Amino acid sequence: MAIERIWLTGFMGTGKSRIARPLAAALDWTPLDIDTMIEREAGDSIAHIFKEGGEGAFRALEAQVVDNVSRMPHVVIATGGGTVLSQANRDLMHRDAFVVCLDAQPETISRRIMESDDHVSERPLLAGGDPLSRITELKRDREPLYQQADLTITTDDLTPDEITHRILLAYRERTALAGSAP
């Protein structure tokens, strides 16, 4: 069975969006970003969707976008950190696809988020309280779901190039095993 999509999962700040672009370029596929697609679909920012409709409204939009994307061929998809929370999303993500989890220590995640342009303002689930404790706690709760990926890469000490290279190698190994290498 051919692999039509690569899904990048993992906690916030693990580099999913950062890696989707070079990975897609290397495969001559299209990079997609679930959060960006939700914002486009809603015509609103993630922070505002959470503020107006709560997490439920955001998850409903997310499920809709995941469903659409799960039918597209040759795409590399950066998911949101909580996309794996839904069983329906996980089922769609594992269909004819390769699911890669990008992992990192809570301290690394916290540092990366603080260094990013949108840091906590665009991540409502980290607002209010100490971000490091919140990251540690949320990440621990979600760990069993992230572990359902086909491959997990610990990214703390890797450059984006190295991460991309590792995913490509694993993807090629997998397609060769399935007899469908491009």
Which residues of the chain form contacts with ligand S3P (CB under 6 A)? 12, 16, 35, 46, 80-82, 123-125
Q: Give burial (CB, 10 Å; 0-12/13-18/19+) of 4.
A: middle
**Helix intervals (H) in 70-130:** 87-93, 106-115
Q: Which of 40/172 has CB closer to ligand S3P?
A: 40
Shortest Å, Cβ 19 to ligand S3P: 12
Q: Which of 127/176 has CB closer to ligand S3P?
A: 127
* Parallel/antiparallel/unpaired status of strands 5-9 and 151-154: unpaired
Shortest Å, Cβ 123 to ligand S3P: 5
Q: Which of 90/123 has CB closer to ligand S3P?
A: 123
182, 25, 173: which is closest to 100 by C-alpha? 173
Shortest Å, Cβ 166 to ligand S3P: 20
How far is Cα of residue 157 from the mean position of the Cα atoms in its chain?
Answer: 19
Q: Which of 66/97 has CB closer to ligand S3P?
A: 66
Whole-angstrom distance, CA of residue 60 vs CA of residue 177: 36
Shortest Å, Cβ 13 to ligand S3P: 6
